[in-house]
Amino acid sequence: MQTRLLGDIKVSRIGLGGMPMSIEGRPDRARSLATIHAALDAGVTLIDTADAYHLHADEVGHNETLIAEALRTWGGDSSDVLVATKGGHLRPGDGSWTVDGSPQHLREAVQASARRLGVDAIGLYQFHRPDPRVPYADSVGVLAELLDAGTIRLAGISNADPEQIRLAQEVLGGRLVSVQNQYSPAFRSSQPELDLCAELGIAFLPWSPLGGIARAGELGSRFDAFQTIADAHRVSPQQVALAWELSQAPVVIPIPGASRPESIQDSVLAVDLVLGQEELAELNGS
């Protein structure tokens, strides 16, 4: 599998998003483990998760626990796998998502994530979503503390605008390695953040790169150009979407979610899909 740099760590050009295995509509544990194992077998070395990927209030970190178990039970060498988790989002258990970006919460959350992942230092820790009640620099300041203490190896942010990206880079003293924002054929309004990351040499991780759990299957029927080009290459429109995202800038690392082995096995093939300039122009303008 081709690699890209996330900070100073090499990761596969396509990662695995863990959310579909832990929220509404999730599969049973065996299928989730098989999905993560299929990703690892295919050469995926970046797995994205969050403490908030769970359903009920009493199972915070459901997805982190699942990933830790999958890494333990996989037959291969997982020492080069980077698990990227997040803190600052919460699920009270009634289906809603809330935020808490207070330094106290983030300090406690990172320790709990490290325990669930079974690591001394978290590979990549991302501040999940700005909390309007807390100055952004205070939330991101915790990441700086955690880097200094060695509790996390790399620091990233998510759902950030260009001003927040620049502020985070300043607060972290140039150590911001990634920005995770929504980006897909259906949602292109993170283009300014993607372009800024390309300019600054920061990894950009498109979330819901296929349009989200509920609509990923409809990608081809919603976006004709993606289906037409997929047909021409005899691949899925989802692969075309991921290849198109990869073409946007060398810093882009999509993290398609999956709850079935077949989904991630198909998605990783996008790294070898070469799209022509005319095709890319058509997709850009579609």
Ligand X SMILES: NC(=O)c1ccc[n+]([C@@H]2O[C@H](COP(=O)([O-])OP(=O)(O)OC[C@H]3O[C@@H](n4cnc5c(N)ncnc54)[C@H](OP(=O)(O)O)[C@@H]3O)[C@@H](O)[C@H]2O)c1
List residues binding ligand X (CB under 6 A).
17-20, 48, 158-159, 180, 207-213, 216-217, 236, 238, 255-260, 263, 266-267
Q: Are 91 and 132 in contact (CB under 8 A)?
A: no
* Smallest separation (angstroms) from ligand X to the CB of 208: 4
Write out the DSSP string of 125-137.
EEE-S--TTS-HH
CB 14 within 8 A of CB 270: yes
User: Considering beta carbons, is residue 189 or 277 the nearer one to ligand X?
Assistant: 189
* DSSP string covering 78-89: -TTPEEEEEESE
Of 120 and 182, nearer to ligand X (C-beta) is 182
Distance of closest approach, residue 138 Cβ to ligand X, in angstroms:
20
| Minimum CB distance to ligand X smaller for 123 or for 149 | 123
Helix (H) or strand (E) holding 191: helix 191-200
**Which residue's Cβ lies closest to ligand X?**
257
In the complex, minimum distance from the CB of residue 20 to ligand X, in angstroms, rounded to a whole number: 4
- Active site positions, annotated: 53
Residue 259 beta carbon to ligand X: minimum distance, rounded to whole angstroms: 3
143 or 213: CB nearest ligand X: 213
Sign of the four-CA dihedral 123, 103, 66, 255: negative
Residue whose C-alpha is closest to residue 245's, from 284, 201, 189? 284
The DSSP code for 18 is -
